[in-house]
Structure 1
């Protein structure tokens, strides 16, 4: 690119920035930038923070040692004076270059590499010194630079690499270094593609996604997915939904996030449940359903299909993460990059649009899971039909222009109306081309199992699916009539046979709930019990002339019958009569306690002795005081007469 072209590009870029009040001249030939713009990049132009900020927590003694290592007299004893002297030295590129030229070879290579690759996330950055775990081949060189303030290890930064001040980086880059400037977008390889081809592929993708969204949300409405304690829907629930609807994990995540953003799903305690808005959405035409999901995707404050974090850990869906402005920028940059392609041209794959996205939206977030830049957001656009054959579709153009009316019109043009009929085959399948209507999908889901979802959906009938429909109260005639109403032509004979054969076997065995059973050899007596008004609360129902079932437990039933004047007996599970014995309540005696090492001995039973407590107290009061006697066993000594342990009688005083 010639200098004239570069100058024109720079003028155009500055005019654009000035139109947005981000840059303006001051009349003296200098450009000023809005302060918030300085914080948009973590390290603009690959420059770290200036030396004054990096040395803010450095002590005065540490500054003195740096000046001594640089052969600079340390002025005074205050930190302010020493810091000012060091800043003055490092602000002079020639002085910094001279210090680096005198450094050891390892140090010089390390500093030059840092200045060249500062701010990059490549392999070179992983080779930088990390204090506490230095590399063997660069420890001495890094230490030399740290001692002279050419590198700074920020306090309380853990094991982060030592940082290079901006002044040192600029000095090592040289006076002839200029910031990179690319006024024109990068060139990508394109191929010819017709508008009809783009419409055809976009229609297929949009139709398939709408069908997937219908089935995923129907599954969530029938069985709301559980939330993790940490919030969101975990991988296990996502797998369950994907298996039930025959959808990939990426599709399930995209549907859940866009549906939640559009108000079709909401958190309900420990579940994620469908809202009333979903009921209205399910009754709409496919084009209207897709339009609502597309509008939600356009403003979604995250990348819906992000499944891994920077550490490779699996992420849950609907986790309520903070809004990601860079994710919205990535989506907007993708649509803008695709819109800038020449007419009737497209890229081989949407992943090739990554460099264009980065050029149009430099603040866009790139996901760590993407092998190529912006691969996830490009895949989302493909699934939704916004990009087809590497080119912007009608849907994508409407999204890029943020035109709701154009988006609705493009969706109606690309998506057919909902299909209300099905083609039934002799192999016990039902095939629906396009997106089935809500009524048709509900009917087929009730009597068959959905096998495939997409541009054509397939349901399969089996005895178990028909039995499930009969369990809900449907009759075989009603099932046949409902299927006939939506069938293209007559129902195949195998399907009719399946319905009626399953119905004949349905209900041959009946199961009734019962807490106990009452039986007698006198049918008239059981009729009397069932009609007794005082026994109505027992819930008696006659199953056979000699059998009644009762919904009340056995003991309460016995008590009620006896209170009504009858004399029933209870039976055990084996049919024998249960003998009732009166049980007396007894307290259990406490177990005797023993000291560690004490042997357990039997305690002889003693005859109670009547003791006059008054006499015993007088004897204890009038007893002469005793002194310690070394000979405790001497006969007649007071210690011999004094019991070592008090008797049970004395303990009761």
Structure 2
């Protein structure tokens, strides 16, 4: 017998992080859970069990049925690795000395749901008459280009998230416009980027830790990273079924892959949609690169998709109208630096950019100099640096920092109207213009000298307001050094509660260890109470008055007043035992 008692003992032995990982995988309702025995009962309750069983893909469900029919444990070595490991991680099976066992409640629920092993046979392999490798490559390139534009835009301005986790509508519109992808796909792109550590965020989406290295990679390598991240969101046991494709429609695949249905089919439908966007499949037919992804041959996948992708270019045409034309996708590291001084206007096979006063000003804020910019553009250009472009860069650099926003002097923070920030102008006439400009009137600037004006707003607010009004302003710190600010995100307040299940795991970890003498009796009583509710057999170890120990397999019926009443099925009689004499409770074999 392997029931809640056995599971409770296992849960108690898990390290806190492993227990929380299990709970995150199962996502059970845990209302009223006070200890590990309560948690075991919750995990094996019908609603929580159904939610876990619905997630099982065909090979996993087939193994569960095999374990349910087995009279003894099935040796671990005979089952491979991936499938039993996932069932174990979902707390549906456990490994004993004689092999894997299904928990009794799981076997009972499978029987009640009427799942038949014959319906779970491996599908016959059907080779497509023609692989869609050309269309797959086109989709892959467009997807990679869209994610790249997404990351560049997140670097420029993070995308605000709503309290429930969705993307704010203005941010979704902005990202759709910049990426050239439908607004309905933006959440999918963010999800793929998140899985690959390219984007992350709580109140707002921002560039992730791996974004820069990904952007510097070749298009085929970028695709391989995204495809591997997509695969990592799937149970390994599902990959073989997915490799057969879904030419007869995704609904047929989902019915075969997830026989028990439930909400998991909706999540898998999203993964299928992502596979189509990535070019792993085209209208349900798996291409050569997609087949390699599903078979975990990532190097082959990258080679297959890269063979037909356009090669990156390393030189561009600088035009007199300040536009920049790349005759192909620009090499990643060059594209990243060029975007530091130019606005990308179009991607794809031929990329275009435009250099403006604002983009040059931003490059100067980021630490570039006029000479550095001209040297970089000169080396990048096939046609040299046009005179209008050189004039724009040098004239903008000459004006850069003529207005500086920063913290005020100590004496300016005192008095009836203390200042929070100061605006310094090298040319008093420029300050005159700023003070009468209605676009910056909300800053409530007041002149404190020929070259200075004070404000009650933070220096960054002062800086961004003037930047948006197209003034050549720079931001400086208290020492007078220029700093590069990040545009603030107007994020909606989000919950600051603890992570899911963290409080429960912390509470369970604080429970007294069952091997402590003063706590052993309470733990034994709790396990017996659970056995009473489950009406199951347990093996009790009882210490006799002469200090001998004996074992008995009994069915506890009640516990009260320090005594346990239990039915001895073998002798067909009821026994009463002092709880203080019971030294161990184990599941009956």
> Highest relative contact order (Cα 8 Å, sep 6+), 1 or 2?
2
Bigger share in strand: 2
TM-score scaled by length of structure 1: 0.41
Higher Rg of the two aligned structures: 1
